[in-house]
Amino acid sequence: MVRVLKYIGWVTAVFAGVTLAAQAQNDRVVPQSANQVKLSYAPLVADSAPAVVNIFTRKVVRSRRSAMFDDPLFKRFFGDKFSFGMPEERVRGSLGSGVIVRPDGIIVTNHHVIEGADEVTVVLADRREFDAEIVLADPRTDLAILQIDSGEEPLPILNLGDSDEVLVGDIVLAIGNPFGIGQTVTGGIVSATARTQQGISDFGFFIQTDAAVNPGNSGGALIGIDGQLLGINTAIYSRTGASNGIGFAVPANMVKSVLRAALNEGELVRPWLGVRGQSVSSDIAAGLGLDRAGGVLVDDVYPGGPAEAAGINPGDVIMAVDGKEIIDEPGLNFRIATMQEGDEIPLAVLSEGFIQERRISLALPPEDPPRNITKLDGRHPFQGVSVGNMSPRFNEELQINTFRQGVIVLEVERRSPSARYQFLIPGDVLMSINGTEIEYVADLDTALDENADRFVYQIQRRGRVQECIVVPNRSFRCTVIR
């Protein structure tokens, strides 16, 4: 264990980029005179603000004026004759901000700003309005890419900076449209970097700032004093909905990866390591002989994946990726998600008591077996249920454990037996039917015998294995067996 402790300082200095961070700190200075204190950000704002836009969305929703008209007793006497009981349409609007990042009209905003919108309108700082097309929407990072057509005239842009160079204490400006009152600029400092576990998105790894950010600022710019776009303002920590001085921005390096996918025919498939692990807590660290929590303990390695090819084994601890220290699992996921297929990167790995460097070539998660999405049909209880084969790539899209295998229920048709009695619900994993083990969708062809007088099947639902028995048109029951 002494060997482990001896190498901890080395991995922090060499692989976590501490030397670079110290050098960056030395490049920054505080004001040296009263004249410097009086300096203004106005020139910076004048250059940056034209690239920040207001975004307005509209969605048509259908609703009834009163739930009374759906009452069965009311319908029994009056039917559906009353026009005032018919569904009516109304328009629901929302607002946010966005940032132009290419002169041909490519705009970055938050996914939650445009989610479910039927129409998206972009208003430039000079008050020109354009209809926008959604090029890519990624709820996992809460980012979306829009496109507007402004003609041949190039639009003002903000250049994406390197968010890894952001340090606590750096001065930043937030530009957006809070509360829809119009473009507003607020200033502050970076309060923290690499904020994880905030529950905002799947790849939570945020720049925290005390610059005032309020509803409507979502999708707006967080810029440094050099005018570079450091992040996209996304969320605030507040019990009232107003700014409490804690705002979070998606780092520019994540924006780059989503933008890259949007410009590549809109397909977003993130590379992976092929490992499943957990954050190293203080208890785990003590058991490993480490003097502090940090890193990701590898629990499992996907056969044939990049990690296995690099010699990473269960029980190893990933301490750093490409010179960046890894504190927890969300931090590891963020680092890998910002990279590309084929990138060859160094990992600092604690293995058998020593810190070792492993070079790994990132790959896309495989779709093996093919998803084979199938809607079940026939005279059996599962008619109208859509299923598919799980694989690392498909599981990534479904946002479930990439190592899971088998057949998963994707959708249940309305008015189907399963919709009525919950024989199957979305997310169930089929394990067996009438004694036939279900490994692939194709296994259902033989398992679903239409002449069977009853169906005994096992499923995994919400982490528990259940055995269910369906006697068509007579009975249905389920029992948790483990």
Alpha-carbon distance of 315 to 243, in angstroms, equals: 43
Alpha-carbon distance of 461 to 464, in angstroms, equals: 5
**What phi, psi does 445 have (nearest 5°)?**
-60, -40
Contacts (Cβ under 8 Å, ≥6 apart) of 119: 57, 58, 59, 131
DSSP letters, 138-187, are ETTTTEEEEE---TTSPPP---B--GGG--TT-EEEEEE-GGGS--EEEE
Contacts (Cβ under 8 Å, ≥6 apart) of 241: 215
> Quick check: 208 and 250 in contact, CB under 8 A?
no
Give the three-state DSSP class for 122. Answer: strand
Output the CA–CA distances (angstroms, integers) from residue 82 to 63, 67, 70, 77, 195, in the order listed.
15, 13, 11, 12, 55
> Quick check: 386 and 375 in contact, CB under 8 A?
yes
Alpha-carbon distance of 335 to 143, in angstroms, equals: 17
Locate 427 and state its tokens: 């997310």
Alpha-carbon distance of 398 to 40, in angstroms, equals: 48
> Quick check: 4 and 289 in contact, CB under 8 A?
yes
Q: How many helices (H) and strands (E) does the chain have?
A: 13, 27
Residues belonging to the active site: 112, 142, 218
Locate 316 and state its tokens: 């190893």
Give the three-state DSSP class for 419. Answer: helix
> Quick check: 296 and 328 in contact, CB under 8 A?
yes
Q: What is the DSSP letter of 366?
A: P
**What phi, psi does 391 have (nearest 5°)?**
-155, 165
Locate 52 and state its tokens: 């920040």
> Quick check: 220 and 97 in contact, CB under 8 A?
yes
Alpha-carbon distance of 223 to 249, in angstroms, equals: 10
> Quick check: 253 and 203 in contact, CB under 8 A?
no
For helices 329-337 and 252-262, what crossing angle results, to 10°? 40
Alpha-carbon distance of 99 to 256, in angstroms, equals: 13
